[in-house]
Amino acid sequence: MICLNHYVSKNHDAENGKIVFAGSSLMEEFPLEQLFLDKEIIVYNRGISGATSKDYLEIFDRLILSIQPVHLLINIGSNDLADECFEDSHLLDSYRQIFSKLKKSLPQCAVTFIKFYPVNTGIMQDVSKKQGEQWLLQASKYRINSRVIEASEKISKLADSNGYETIEVNNLLIDETKQLDALNTKDGIHLTEAAYRKIFPLIYQHVDLVRKVNKEASDGKK
């Protein structure tokens, strides 16, 4: 059971109007605050380990809307894919509700969907056998790259229809078979610190561009 209140408590000292990253463990483990060295860019990592899109929707108002981000980068829902009974309609409905909340409460907030990262099912199965991690074995059956790609594309189209952007960093993570490269992962799903550092420049470039565009727009209104 996820202790959602633990994550909400992070907002006690947070400032409004900053850049927020939302997601599950793949986001929570991203050392964003260490990597963003530009003092003009303040970011908050609001990744929740183990969260599904439904979990995140439940806490979205308290965790995200309450600190009124100027730019939200979201990568939530990859845990949904590991469910044997997964239906993309449920995942898309969560995103529709999240986007609707943003449109209503924070219409000026820039929103970017980060496409789901690839996986390596062979490594997932090997690690599961060696470490007795049954959740990894379960995930290896259903959280497969075809599902990852299909879900990402559908969310990306939904984001676009709402005037939001999508970025993808997966070409930096895959091997010649288009699986998550063994050098970039700890268990076939989660990334190594080196992998995060590899994709960070693309993330930073996008964040900085959006920040500059927003600043120009704001200055133009003065």
How confident is the model at residue 178, as a pLDDT? 96
Rounded Cα distance, 87 and 1, in Å = 22
Quick check: 162 and 156 in contact, CB under 8 A? no
Rounded Cα distance, 128 and 122, in Å = 10
**Average pLDDT by consecutive 10-residue portion of the chain (222 residues)?**
75 94 97 92 95 94 96 97 93 98 97 98 96 92 96 98 98 97 98 98 96 79 62
Rounded Cα distance, 175 and 99, in Å = 33
How confident is the model at residue 208, as a pLDDT? 94
- pTM for this one? 0.94
Under CATH, to which class is 4-118+145-181+192-208 assigned? alpha beta
Q: What angle do CA 110, 115, 118 make, to 5 degrees?
A: 160
Helices (H), the chain: 4-8, 25-28, 32-35, 53-63, 88-105, 121-131, 134-142, 145-161, 193-221
* pLDDT tens, position by position, 12-36: 999 999 999 999 999 999 999 999 9
Amino acid identity of residue 30, one-letter, is: F
How many alpha carbons lie under 13 Å from residue 150 in its C-beta half-sphere? Answer: 12
Write the Ramachandran bin of 196: left for phi over 0, alpha for psi from -120 to 50, otherwise beta. Answer: alpha
Structure tokens at 148: 């990852």
Domain chopping of the chain, boundaries? 4-118+145-181+192-208
How confident is the model at residue 49, as a pLDDT? 93
Amino acid identity of residue 57, one-letter, is: L
